Structure formats: structure tokens, C-alpha cells
Chains A and B, each alone.
Chain A
Amino acid sequence: MEHGDVTKNTVISAKELSLTFQTNDGPVHALKDVSLDIHKGDFVSFIGPSGCGKTTFLRCMADLEHPTAGSITVNGVSAAEARKARAYGYVFQHAGLYPWRTIGGNISLPLEIMGYDKADQQDRIKRVLELVELEGFEKKFPWQLSGGMQQRASIARALAFDADILLMDEPFGALDEIVRDHLNEQLLHLWERTEKTIGFVTHSIPEAVYLSTKIVVMSPRPGRITDVIESTLPKDRPLDIRDSPEFLDIAHRVREGLRAGHAYD
């Protein structure tokens, strides 16, 4: 299949995508001729040094940034239409829970906005809290939860409505290593159970390799894709798979890709 072809399974398709910011120091090429297809059920990680455009790319999928050239489709329609159809849930680096709402209230926030009825809201809150293992925390306020639990609540919020795509922008970046391991494991279970398509921005190599079916290595100035690695790891991944030779092979290839992107500067 030629790249950029929209097949039935293609969920997100970017073709020759470029985004240039005009700044006082001249134009900044955040993205340059980026093409990528993401298929249904993929877990795609975007990895690269800061300034490589990985977050910008994710934000283009979410219609939070607008490409200056090229095209991007989400679920076969433009990113703007997909956003209006609430095609994706977006998880930011910070949980961003409203301090004046309980955990349940925070999860029902998008549901209220989208006009789900009260009974349905309650069902969904229960279901997603169970998915992120936060049963019984519905009535708690965000400040009563640890940072990791808050981030889980924010994932629950992104899962509460019927979006098949989950876009995550360094969701665990602010958490410590141990909590991060645990959340990574949980996220894999969640992905398996919900069969969502996930786009995941990170700058941790082990995290990218552990989670993904496809790793997109990016490099800065201009932001572009230097390598796309299809993971050969099995779908069922215990934490100690990270010591296997296969895992280390992939990690090595990612590291090589990152180094190649840096070679010229």
C-alpha cells in the first residue's frame, strides 16, 4: 500500500503536513512535510527531543493547531469536523481537573457539554472510574487525590464519551518513575479492553517502546519524521518484557533514530 492511502482501517492520515509559525525571529518550521497513517487500534508513540513538533503534530490531529500546508484527515473527515463530532478524547500533560468539581463532576463535565442525559452520565462515570481503577473516588475532590490518581481521573474523563481515538500529550511526564510504570501497565490494559486508537507523545524511550505498536521518531529544525518503527513485541506485555533482547533491540533502533536526527547540529 502506498503511503497516505486512506483504507478502511486508516483512522488518522496526514499528507505532506507542514506548519510554520511566524515569530519575530523569522519563521519557525514546527512541522515539515510530515506524512503518516494511523490505523484502527494502533498505539502510536511520538518521540523526539523538544522542538521536534511531536506535540504540534498531535495538536494538528486535534484541530488545536492549523497546518499551513498539506492535509490531515481524522476518521475520513477534516480535523475540524472530527473535533466537532467529538471524535477524540485529549489528555494533557497536567490533569487539569476543575478544583470546584468532584472527580465524578469532572468526568461528567464533557458529558454535560455534549448533552448526555443524567442517568447515562452516572453509568458512564461508574464505568470509566472502574476502567482506571478509581472506584469509590467519585465524590472526592481533586486535591484529595495524588498526582497519579488525578491523571488517571483525567484519562477517565477523556474516555467517558464515545470517542474511538485517545490523544495523549505527555500524560505521565510530570509523574515519578514508579507511578509512571504502574500507569503505563494500566494504560496497556485499558487499551486492550477498549480497543481505542491511541496517539501518545513522550520523550521517554522505554515508555514509547513498552506501550506502542508503532513508534514515530521525530527530529527538530524543521520538525519531521526520521523513522517509523513497527513494534514486534507481543500484545501482552508484562513490565519485565523491558529486559528482553527484543525490547532492547527496538529501544536501540529508536535511540539510533534520535541520534540521526541530531547528527547535523
Chain B
Amino acid sequence: MRNLFPILTVVAAIFVIWYGAAVALNAPWAKDQAKRAGVELTFSELITETWRQKKPKLPAPHQVTAEIWKTTGEMVAKGRAFSKRSLIYHSWITLSATILGFVMGTGFGILLAIGIVYNRVMDMSVMPWVIASQTIPILAIAPMIIVVLNAVGISGLLPKAMISMYLSFFPVVVGMVKGLRSPDQMQLDQMHTWNATAGQQFWRLRLPSSMPFLFASLKVAMAASLVGAIVGELPTGAVAGLGARLLAGSYYGQTIQIWSALIMAAALAACLVAMIGAIQRMTLKRMGMVQ
């Protein structure tokens, strides 16, 4: 509860800046319209005008909220939660690619990390490639992945998930390499004195030691995975997903639609990261690592 006040203060400040910016950015259009109609706008009229345009440069918060409600809550009320006009439907499309890509990326990242930690050749050779892979702009490589996979007959969810995986395996590799190497020499010596096998050393020492590192990585990976899924929806001229909503919105100048998709994506990311945070707390608590 003591966190509530600062959070509300920040939210209030964001709203004030947002409304202010909407006035500043949308005023020229409103003035232009008034001039053509030959009417003179008072200051308060100008303000209300800037907050209710159909295609504003920057939609006001209440416009975005109304749009989001119209495409979620109202659709649910009408029993059409999964119609193509519903943001819930589009969010679900993006979410499924995000989760699949995240799971694949995490798995791939952990396997790579194990390889790097246990295999000297991989240790020397893999990391530069992993880092190089992330210096390529995802926007450049995403269409290639989609096209290539399409050519071999893979389309739909998987290509998008691949792009998510491409972005999300990286923080997992980096975090897990660090985590699996976090036991100190003394702990490794101790295992040696007990004549423990490599497997026992991995499951009983290295893996548990890496948990805090893993969860920190997973949070970054989840956010990256969502970005990957959205980016994956752009080049296909996708018909569904939050990325498709962004693209369609920008084609037709539907700024309100763009912003509601953006807000939805942000909310989704926040929920997903919070979910990992909850799993982290539960896991570490069960392990006795939080006090």
C-alpha cells in the first residue's frame, strides 16, 4: 500500500503530460478546420476540439480508453470476444506466438549455456556468434525468416515464434552462462572431495545456483519475445495480431487504433513479466532463498 502513492503520482503526471501534448499536437488541425468553417474558436473550445478528433496526431487518453473498451469489454458483452474486430482476439494471436517463442528461446538458451559451460570448444566459439546474432536489426531479418520458412511450407504461428525465439534466447544464454558458472572454486572442490559425478554436480550445485540469474534473464527474454512476435507480424501484411493492428492503423491513419494496440501490448508485457516475477518468488521461496 505504501507504494500506491508514488505510483499514482507518476500516473497522474503521465496523464497531465499526455493531455497537454495532445492539445499542442492536435491544435493546428483544429485551428485549420475552424478557419475553413469560418468560425473563431475560444480557448476552451480549442481544447475540447483537440481531444475529440477522429484521426488526431496524438489521441487523448480517454479516446484510447474508449477504443480499448469498445474492442474488448464491449465485444465480450456482445459474446464476440474472439471476432476479428476484437483486441482480445488480436492479443491472443500475438500472445500465443510470444509464449511459444519464449519457451523455445528459453530452452535453446539454456542448452547453449550448458554447452558453453561444459564444452571448451563451444566456450571459445559460440559466444561471439551469439552476440553477432543480436547486432543484426530484427526488422531486417524478420522478413527473411518469414519468407524462407514460408518457402519450405511453414507458416502461421511458427515463423513468428521463431523471431521471438531469436530475440529471447540471447538474455537466457548470457544469464545462464553466468549462473552456471556462479559456484565458486571451493564449492566445486567440495563436490570433488565427495567424488561427485558431473551429473550430480550439475543438478545439485550448478543448476540451483543459476536460478536467480535465470529468472532475471527470463524477464528480459519475455519482453524481447513479445517485441519479436509483434515485429514478426509486420512484414507478412499479417491479418491478425497486435502487430497487424499497428500496421493496419498506420495504413489508414487510425492513430487511436495504433495507440490502443500499443497500450494493449504494453499491458500484455507487464502482465507476462509480473507472472515471471510471481513464479520467481514462489520458486526461490520454496528453495529457501528469499528470507
A residues near B (Cβ < 8 Å) are: 62-64, 83-84, 86, 88-90, 92-94, 96, 98-102, 109-110, 112-114, 141, 143
Contacts and interface: CB of A to CB of B under 8 A. Distances in A.
A99 B212 CA distance: 12
Given A92-B186, A99-B288, A83 B195 contact: yes
Contacts of A109: 194, 204
Contacts of A98: 205, 208
A88 B204 contact: no
B200 interface: yes
A83 B204 CA distance: 20
A102 B211 CA distance: 17
B200 A94 contact: no
10 contacts: A86-B195, A90-B193, A93-B186, A98-B205, A100-B208, A100-B287, A100-B288, A109-B194, A113-B204, A114-B194
Contacts of A86: 194-195
B180 to A, nearest CB: 15
Contacts of B287: 100
Contacts of A63: 192
Question: What band does the interface of chain B fall in when counting residues whose beta carbon is under 8 Å from A?
Answer: 10 to 19
A98 B204 CA distance: 9
A90 B194 CA distance: 9
Contacts of A96: 186-187, 190
B291 interface: yes
A86 B208 CA distance: 24
Given A64-B193, A86-B194, 13 more contacts: A64-B192, A83-B192, A83-B195, A100-B208, A100-B287, A100-B288, A109-B194, A109-B204, A112-B204, A113-B191, A113-B194, A113-B204, A141-B288
Contacts of B195: 83-84, 86, 113-114
B17 interface: no
A143 B204 contact: no
Contacts of B194: 86, 109-110, 113-114
Nearest to A157: B190
Nearest to B205: A98
Contacts of B11: none
A62 to B, nearest CB: 6
Interface in B241-291: 287-289, 291
Given A86-B194, A102-B288, A64 B189 contact: yes
Contacts of B191: 113
A92 B208 contact: no
Nearest to A89: B193
Contacts of B205: 98
B287 to A, nearest CB: 4
Nearest to A144: B291
Contacts of A99: 288-289
A89 B186 CA distance: 14
A114 B195 CA distance: 8
A141 B291 CA distance: 9
B198 to A, nearest CB: 12
Contacts of A102: 288
B196 A113 contact: yes
Interface in B199-219: 200, 204-205, 208, 211
Contacts of B189: 64, 90, 92
A83 B193 CA distance: 6
A63 B194 CA distance: 11
Given A96-B186, A109-B204, A113-B200, A101 B288 contact: yes
